[in-house]
Structure 1
């Protein structure tokens, strides 16, 4: 939890910090396309969804959760969410799904939607003008396999089925050191929108697959959970994302002779917050009854 003295000092420095005065302070939309019961079901994504819900609830936000939306319904739901932000200090949108090259989000019935359209539907909202907007994408962005470091396990992807087949060729038994099962889901990168007051973060670099562990959740989402839980009381969002970048480098894969053997998961990019800083201050402002 944040320190009350620090919070009031923050309130007095509104030129340096984005104002945090409402309760709930922010609104969060979590969309998890799990593809339940389908051949490419995103096993383990329910843990990511639960952890993100708990994280932002503890930050003092109002949450909305959607699952298995078609591409059309995803865009519609994000537009509706962004249009009603008059009483929030910031908004957070978390999209977890399959993805394809060209920054395309895959909907529940295999329709596709450009990331650009989703971002624009948020940044163009009049009720979000001058307010910080955090947008996270947990999805593949292509079929290339980065040189990575990650926990050992069985691999799958948040991309197309043929990527999974390719990985099974690389690792015929589907295992590395007989550990956890892992699906391809994430490294980390940030997409920069020309619009002010927005941070858009991807779980992987352009053209690459991303990784998710079946039992533990995706590396990117779990790193956000860990870093924000431990450090949000004392660090701003830009610093927190830098810590996520460093935390991702700790993941290690050991697969001698395969395309996945030893490397580094990196995160790169920036935001358009300018000189302003966004402090989340979990626990503040307090709700006065």
Structure 2
């Protein structure tokens, strides 16, 4: 990475943070009740853990060889800048085998998150309906990943805090051909939190469907996710922004006419505002 490129990134970050300070000051007192939002007052908010698998070895573990994921480095860079701007400490790991992926996730789950508000995990790889492939072609089930952060065995310091997962991977081979749209006129404290609560899973596509990626511009989902977060984080909550991401990705179309629709799955109990609790 050239020094000029690094300087450009720093300037983007500086301008964005200045914009956030201004907007945050203007929004004080205009947002919803504090009780409806998770506390997001600490700096950094938490760890943003990014796994980028883009170089795959030949393997007999899957029916066909997994190709290298051209354009995934663009996604990685976009995610790094976005989460740094949103107040997270970013950690990036690349090209992990399945066992390495689980090991690294277990280590981060065992890490104390006591001084953080939340946790973010972004995984860029090949996948299927049930999980993510390591670079060796071995599958890591989503259930294995998510249970590490439920708080029962590994991660008690994240109980009651938002755990945000964003998965850029195919969840099958089906390609969405789209359909024509018909136009129509017209207060008690919680003493015990369910282990499945406070999770957000942002999938690039619904179960069974492929997701698309440009070698030059990165994946449809991650590029729009970063764009929407950067443009709206000071003014909107996370689920509102993910609705916009779904809309923007759904507008895309391949040369063969195939579409893509992200599939957010929320178990959040409150709203996530990355800047909404400042000075409150």
Give the TM-score normalised by structure 2: 0.76
Contact persistence 2:56–2:137 (CA under 8 A): no
Alpha carbons of structure 1 residues 99 and 108: separation in structure 2 relative to 1, 3 Å: same
Picking from 252, 267, 274, the partner of 1:272 is 267
CA shift, 1:242, in A, is: 0.5
CA shift, 1:145, in A, is: 1.6
Picking from 5, 9, 17, the partner of 2:37 is 17
CA shift, 1:265, in A, is: 2.6
Gaps of 5+ in 1: 150-192, 256-260
**Counterpart of 2:55?**
35
Distance 1:37 1:112 in 2: 14
- Within the alignment, does 1:54 sit opposite 2:81 as a pair? yes
Higher helix share: 2
Distance 1:112 1:26 in 2: 27
Distance 1:59 1:10 in 2: 20
Contact persistence 1:78–1:122 (CA under 8 A): no
Moved more, 116-125 or 50-59: 116-125
Gaps of 5+ in 2: 1-18, 59-65, 180-193
CA shift, 1:106, in A, is: 0.7
**Counterpart of 2:275?**
281
- Within the alignment, does 1:128 sit opposite 2:129 as a pair? no
Distance 1:213 1:5 in 2: 38
Contact persistence 2:168–2:221 (CA under 8 A): yes
Picking from 74, 88, 93, the partner of 2:101 is 74
SS in 2 for 1:141: coil
- Within the alignment, does 1:65 sit opposite 2:92 as a pair? yes
SS in 2 for 1:135: strand
CA shift, 1:37, in A, is: 7.6
Moved more, 69-78 or 37-46: 37-46
Cα RMSD after superposing both structures: 2.5
Contact persistence 2:165–2:200 (CA under 8 A): yes
SS in 2 for 1:122: coil
Moved more, 52-61 or 1-10: 1-10
The superposition leaves residues 6-47 of structure 1 with CA deviations (integer Å, 9 ceiling, x where unpaired) of 665489943111111111112100000111687711111000
- Report the count of equivalent residues: 234
**Counterpart of 2:126?**
98
Contact persistence 2:172–2:210 (CA under 8 A): yes
SS in 1 for 2:35: coil
Alpha carbons of structure 1 residues 226 and 247: separation in structure 2 relative to 1, 3 Å: same
The superposition leaves residues 217-273 of structure 1 with CA deviations (integer Å, 9 ceiling, x where unpaired) of 000000101110111110000101001011112212343xxxxx2x54323454111
The superposition leaves residues 132-187 of structure 1 with CA deviations (integer Å, 9 ceiling, x where unpaired) of 111011111112122159xxxxxxxxxxxxxxxxxxxxxxxxxxxxxxxxxxxxxx
**Counterpart of 2:46?**
26
